[in-house]
Chain A
Amino acid sequence: NAGVTQTPKFQVLKTGQSMTLQCAQDMNHEYMSWYRQDPGMGLRLIHYSVGAGITDQGEVPNGYNVSRSTTEDFPLRLLSAAPSQTSVYFCASSYYGGRADNEQFFGPGTRLTVL
């Protein structure tokens, strides 16, 4: 199993540009989520999904969109990048079963810089 994969590993954007961060998992996990990690801030939840076609907002959803058309994929879209979105982004997945507090499997992260 590849586990959770994320692409790209690094990305530099200019303010106002849009892009999609890709996340895929091959463990048939229902629960998938996106976090951003900033120095001294821990991980903050952006959006999450409990299954195909079901998404919801986390703590810091503004400026980001998600969709979940398949169990495997959970892309994160930045519609108009801003310098405040400079961060490291992590995708995670887990078994769900009605609760999100199961062991999370993390991808390697995408380091995004917005100029």
Chain B
Amino acid sequence: SQQGEEDPQALSIQEGENATMNCSYKTSINNLQWYRQNSGRGLVHLILIRSNEREKHSGRLRVTLDTSKKSSSLLITASRAADTASYFCATDGFLIQGAQKLVFGQGTRLTINP
């Protein structure tokens, strides 16, 4: 089963507005990552937040992490048409033979309307 679940599944906003997406997960984690996927393309890494961090910024992106609620949020400020994409959270899953696997959520489809 999926470790991370994004909410909402789809989000449509006007250009210039802020977009907020949420991710909930089930087990304890070391890191949480956010990725973007443009239509028909591979995923691109956006930001990584460690379990001992509560907030992280990168340009117009702001990520928060609440380990007590097992949730994270991704905020995109001043959205642009180019931000139209699907956004995924990914968390490190359970230990398998000394390795860990990265588990992705189902994604939030973000549409920025001009």
Binding site for B on A (CB under 8 A): 4, 33, 35, 40-45, 48, 50, 56, 58-59, 90, 92, 98-101, 103-109
Complex A-B: 23 CB contacts under 8 Å: A4-B42, A33-B102, A35-B104, A40-B106, A42-B88, A42-B106, A43-B104, A45-B101, A45-B102, A45-B103, A50-B99, A56-B96, A59-B103, A98-B98, A100-B101, A101-B29, A103-B33, A104-B90, A105-B45, A106-B42, A106-B43, A108-B42, A109-B40
Q: How many angstroms between the C-alpha atoms of A2 and B40 in the bound complex? A: 19
Please count how many residues in chain B sit with their CB below 8 Å of the partner chain's CB atoms: 29
Known A-B contacts A104-B43, A106-B42, A106-B44; the reply to A42 vs B30 at CB < 8 A is no
Known: A42-B2, A42-B107, A90-B42. A101 touches B102 (CB 8 A): yes
- The majority secondary structure among interface residues of chain B is strand
Nearest-CB residue, chain A, relative to B45: A103
Which residues of B approach A to under 8 Å, CB–CB?
2, 29-31, 33, 35, 40-45, 48, 88, 90-92, 96-107
Number of residue pairs A-B, CB distance < 8 angstroms: 68
